[in-house]
Structure 1
Amino acid sequence: MKILIIQPKLEHTIKQLENELHNNNSADIVIFPEGYLNENIESACHLAKRFNTILIGGHRRLNDRPKDRAIIIDRSGTVILDRIKYSPTSFVEVEGLKIGHILCDELIVQGIKNESEMNVDLVVHPIGVGMFSEEQFQEWIDEARKIAITYNTMIIGTSHADGSYGDTGVSIPIAYCFGKNGEEIFISKNDVRPRILDLQSTNISISQEVH
């Protein structure tokens, strides 16, 4: 199974997602940042079905508090997970993989908030904007590695290519993947090129196109 990890810029549409699906039509799963879909759920469902791809990331309902939600859309274009941020962690079986889904600062605030689920193959961690300091970057990387080791699971995180937390003016785009023993598969800082991870070999290929 091949996983495409993308770091699009914030946008009102989901054109960047569509372009990446065009360019990487062998991907089985696409992971994108928290909030990226905004309210374009119907369009995302059409893309999942059109490209026969599983979409995992986040979207927003502006009238909700908190507004951010975790989402998984299967190959048929059906939403199989739609969880509000800071609620208990959800686990969904997708084509033989048991996938956990945590959003952005849930990594620090609550981690895996569902101790009954211990046998998980993959934790997906969509992040909103980039890190606001080198210290935060290292803190989040260290915490993600701990989750991989504690739950004996692969974990993958990705943020947007732009945006700064609280208008700090600083944004360090982040993407990463750790294996089940906490081994580094990749850590990306300020490099927003799409990456494809082959789960069978844990080989990484990186697009030469920069957003």
Structure 2
Amino acid sequence: MGVRMKFLVIQPKFEKNIVQLESELRNNPSVDVLIFPEGYLNENVEQACILAKNYNKILIGGHRRLNDSPKDRAIIINRSGDIVLDRIKYSQTTFKSVEGLMIGHILCDELVKQGVKNEDISAIDLIVHPIGVGMFSEEQFDEWINEAKKIAVTYKSMIIGTSHADGSFRGSDVSIPIAYCFDENGDAIFVSKNDVRTRMLDIQTKTVSFPQLINQ
């Protein structure tokens, strides 16, 4: 990757609005891209576009259209507040060039159900993996981390994933928040289990810092 960009990887709690997103944007002016979980935006896409433009940031994550089936969608919003990717879950993986980075976008259990579903896999720089809720077992956590690592190696691409800080799958009494980043060689830059701190990642130097604590 010749491009240098700072990514903020957040693990917000579920909320009807996007107060946590705006707080992270306000408190981290040096970042270029903010990555958030599947479904976090809910129906607040228009507000997210306004925030992206006002704060001059790229937003990558997921939102919902309740009348769709499935309702979850992948979304990328550029610094001008324009939606440059809006893909329904379980459809073909879409790649977008965003300020010099070729970015792929997979949603939650697409990781294990279909992986990267596109025959044109040339020159992928980054795969973003917004996850809905936490893992419902230690076994699932290990399975998803291992699958993400395989994808990084297969496509020679960095991959970043993040879930909400709360929520459980189909009423499970276990919810393990997850976030991770592997480089193009499959080496872990960070793997987070039950640690919902915001992480700032400089993708050129591959360094991680913790700009602030969230969900206190």
TM range (shorter): over 0.9
Deviation at 1:119, TM superposition (A): 1.6
CA distance in 2, matches of 1:150, 1:52: 33
| 1:67 matches 2:71 | yes
2: CA distance between counterparts of 1:58 and 1:81? Answer: 10
Q: CA RMSD in A?
A: 0.7
CA-CA distance at 1:199 after TM superposition: 1.1
Of the three residues 45, 52, 72, the one matched with 1:41 is 45
The Cα shift of 1:37 comes to 0.2
Tell me the residue number matched to 1:92: 96
2:168 alignment counterpart: 164
After superposition, what is the alpha-carbon deviation per residue over 1:144-202, rounded to whole angstroms, capped at 9, x for unaligned? 00000000000000000000000112100000000000001000000001000001211
Q: Which residue of 2 aligns with 1:79?
A: 83
> What's 2:147 paired with?
143
Q: How far 1:210 moved relative to its partner?
A: 3.5
* Structure 2 residue matching 1:144: 3-state secondary structure: helix
1:8 matched residue in structure 2 = 12
- Give 1:118 shift: 2.7
Q: How many residues align?
A: 211
Instruction: Give the gaps of 5 or more residues in structure 2.
Output: none
How far apart, in 2, do the equivalents of 1:111 and 1:23 lie?
Answer: 34
3-state secondary structure, aligned to 1:140: helix
2-structure distance, mates of 1:101, 1:51: 23
1:101: how far off? 0.1
Amino acid at match of 2:203: L
Q: Tell me how far apart the structure 1 counterparts of residues 159 and 180 of structure 2 sit (CA, whole Å).
A: 8
User: 2 CA distance for matches of 1:51 and 1:210?
Assistant: 19
1:8-38 Cα shifts (integer Å, max 9, x gaps)? 0000000000000111111100000000000
Any gaps of 5 or more consecutive residues in structure 1? Answer: none
Amino acid at match of 2:185: N
Write the letter of the residue equivalent to 2:114. Answer: Q
TM-score after normalising by structure 1: 0.99
CA distance in 2 between partners of 1:180 and 1:85 (Å): 24
2:130–2:163: 8 Å Cα contact kept in structure 1? yes
Per the normalisation by structure 2, the TM-score is 0.97
Letter in 2 for 1:81: L
Q: 1:17 & 1:48 partners in 2: Cα distance?
A: 10
CA distance in 1, matches of 2:159, 2:103: 10
Give the drift of 1:116: 1.6
Identity over the aligned pairs, expressed in percent?
69
Q: Which amino acid aligns with 2:145?
A: I
* 1:167 match: secondary structure: coil
Letter of the 2:156 partner, please give it. Answer: N
